[in-house]
Amino acid sequence: MSRSTARVAVIGALALALSGCGAGATLAGLHDAPSQVTTVAPISAQSAEAIATRVLAKAAAASADTSADAGTLRAQALTGSALAVANAASRLQTGVPSATTPLVRTAPPKLLGISRGTGWPRLILVQTSTPDSGAVLNLLVSPDARTPFRLSASATMQPGAKVDALNSLTAGSPLLAPGAKLAVQPAELLKGYAASLAFPTPVPDPDVDAAEPFSTGIRAHAADQAKTFGKLATLKQTHTVAPNSTVAIELRGGGALVFGLLERTDTITLLPGGKSLTPSADFQRLVRKKTLTKSAELKSYEIMVFTVPVEGKAQVVAVNEVLFSAKGS
């Protein structure tokens, strides 16, 4: 065999070894990428509980902090709707900066669900208690392998509300697939619900129980305000769905748990007969005015949590509301 022929034979042998999937590939350091696991939770229940305890403590400390680093601390501990609400609440705080309020030792969070599969985003759903024995739903999210879990949404459960069981903590609960069988899809649910809260011209929502307490209370309060203003001012309320804020998790028996964020705008316009308007204390903190003579605009965040069945009406199970912007003249 000539030298050139031998060289070709060696190169050919190396090519065969490198392209194979047996011992040659292993020796060359080449491996098939591991397939993504989609049938179990990515972490154990014990790990999820430890993560939730740590994240919620960090979020509480960041939300209470009034130092110059408070904004950075909130961004490290919270994300999404929870961060928006915490930032809004911080603008309503009064007084000089002080040390972080000590955290009160509470019971460990109750683990309700873990997302399914080893991909991202990953979710943990836990329930905590308020000082007055109320219940709070907390959604923790890790968007990718580089980002730790942060608190994404937190809302107090409505009196008498309940959340049907998610899948087992071992199996994990899938994120809702596009087009999954539901009485109403999450995007349409939030859009229709927002329209039903408008004042003075709400659009009836066929997909949500008309007697649920939050929307009933919002509409009643708006009507009372308008009645109080009489011929001195007008009130208009609109609600819009915040973009990229919706998360939906499948429930074990069918249906879904849906988190969303609404932005409410209250517009008050003084009529010729109205000389001035005295806004609320929170409004005064934001605009640094005690009286208004022309108009006022208030914006609030509303974190909403719904249960949506396969058939029937969706239910509001938890809500968190906070004023985040105000202006007036």
The encoded tokens of residue 241 equal 């769905």
- What is residue 235's DSSP assignment? E
Picking from 189, 301, 302, 161, the residue whose alpha carbon sits closest to that of residue 248 is 189
**The predicted structure's pLDDT at residue 279:** 66
Tell me: the pLDDT tens digits for 46-83? 999 999 999 999 999 999 998 999 999 999 999 999 99
CA atoms within a 13 Å half-sphere pointing along the CA-CB vector of 193: 35
| SS3 category, 114 | strand
Q: Is residue 245 part of a domain?
A: yes
Mean pLDDT along residues 141-153: 96
Mean pLDDT of the chain: 83
List the alpha helices (DSSP H) in the chain.
Answer: 3-19, 23-27, 45-64, 70-77, 80-91, 186-196, 213-229, 281-287
The encoded tokens of residue 46 equal 């014990």
Q: Is the pLDDT of residue 33 over 60?
A: no
Q: Is residue 24 part of a domain?
A: no
Mean pLDDT along residues 6-12: 39
Q: Is residue 84 part of a domain?
A: yes
Q: Is the pLDDT of residue 26 over 70?
A: no
The tally of domains found in the chain comes to 1
Q: Is residue 7 part of a domain?
A: no
Q: What is the CA radius of gyration of the chain?
A: 27
Q: What confidence category does residue 38 fall into, taking pLDDT thresholds of 50, 70 and 90? A: low
Q: What confidence category does residue 128 fall into, taking pLDDT thresholds of 50, 70 and 90? A: very high
Q: Is 160 left (phi over 0), alpha (psi -120 to 50) or beta?
A: left
H helix count then E strand count, the chain: 8, 9
Determine the Cα angle at 41 with ends 38 and 46, to 5°.
Answer: 165
User: Which residue type sits at 26?
Assistant: T
Tell me: the pLDDT tens digits for 75-95? 999 999 999 999 988 887 643
Enclosing domain of residue 245? 45-328
| SS3 category, 238 | strand
Phi, psi of 298 (to 5 degrees): -120, 140
Mean pLDDT along residues 316-324: 93
Identify the helix (H) or strand (E) that includes residue 126. strand 122-129
Q: Is residue 142 part of a domain?
A: yes
Mean pLDDT along residues 276-305: 79
**The predicted structure's pLDDT at residue 90:** 87
Contacts of 309 (CB under 8 A, 6+ apart): 182, 183, 254, 255
Phi, psi of 177 (to 5 degrees): -80, 145
Bridge partners of 14, per DSSP, are: none
CA distance 266 to 324: 12
Q: Is residue 216 part of a domain?
A: yes
Q: Is residue 262 a contact partner of residue 175, using CB atoms and an 8 Å limit?
A: no
Phi, psi of 136 (to 5 degrees): -125, 130
**The predicted structure's pLDDT at residue 30:** 45
**The predicted structure's pLDDT at residue 96:** 33
Bridge partners of 315, per DSSP, are: 307
Tell me: the pLDDT tens digits for 90-125? 887 643 333 333 334 467 899 999 999 999 999 999
Q: Is residue 173 a contact partner of residue 303, using CB atoms and an 8 Å limit?
A: no
- What is residue 146's DSSP assignment? T
Q: Is residue 301 a contact partner of residue 319, using CB atoms and an 8 Å limit?
A: no
CA distance 168 to 170: 5
Q: Is residue 312 a contact partner of residue 164, using CB atoms and an 8 Å limit?
A: no
Tell me: the pLDDT tens digits for 181-225? 999 999 999 999 999 999 999 999 999 988 899 999 999 999 998
**The predicted structure's pLDDT at residue 137:** 96
Q: Which of the residue ranges 20-29, 256-265, 276-285 would you say has the lowest mean pLDDT?
A: 20-29
**The predicted structure's pLDDT at residue 264:** 96
CA distance 128 to 49: 12
Q: Is residue 108 part of a domain?
A: yes
Q: Is the pLDDT of residue 42 over 50?
A: yes
**The predicted structure's pLDDT at residue 24:** 38
CA distance 282 to 322: 10
Mean pLDDT along residues 283-289: 70
CA distance 36 to 212: 41
Q: Is residue 22 part of a domain?
A: no
Its pTM stands at: 0.83
Q: What confidence category does residue 28 fall into, taking pLDDT thresholds of 50, 70 and 90? A: very low
Mean pLDDT along residues 143-149: 95
Tell me: the pLDDT tens digits for 164-174? 999 999 999 99
Highest-confidence segment of 10-14, 24-28, 259-263: 259-263
